[in-house]
Amino acid sequence: MGDARQGRDIIIEFHRVGNAVKVTAADPVTLVEVSIVGSPASSEDTLRRAALRKLDYVLAKREAQK
């Protein structure tokens, strides 16, 4: 799929919600924001990578629709 973010800085937030962690990744250039929900037993790096993969997917999909 490649890196649709093209080296841009991404804002990532982690929020514990009960027995889950909500991870939000936002691209301040395109204003696209995605969220995933994961296990608090997962490492922060694993959750971050999953959110970034989803952001890459959404950005690539938007680019393909142009």
- pLDDT at 61 > cutoff 60: yes
User: Which residue blocks in the chain are alpha helix, DSSP H?
Assistant: 44-64
Q: Which residues span the domain enclosing 17?
A: 11-64
State the Cα–Cα distance between residues 43 and 14, nearest whole angstrom: 12
Whether 4 is in a domain gets the answer no
Whether 5 is in a domain gets the answer no
Whether 1 is in a domain gets the answer no
The one-letter amino acid at 50: A
- pLDDT at 41 > cutoff 60: yes
Say if residues 39 and 20 touch (Cβ distance below 8 Å).
Answer: yes
Could you tell me the two tokens for 44?
Answer: 């922060």
Total tally of structural domains belonging to the chain: 1
- pLDDT at 13 > cutoff 70: yes
Whether 50 is in a domain gets the answer yes
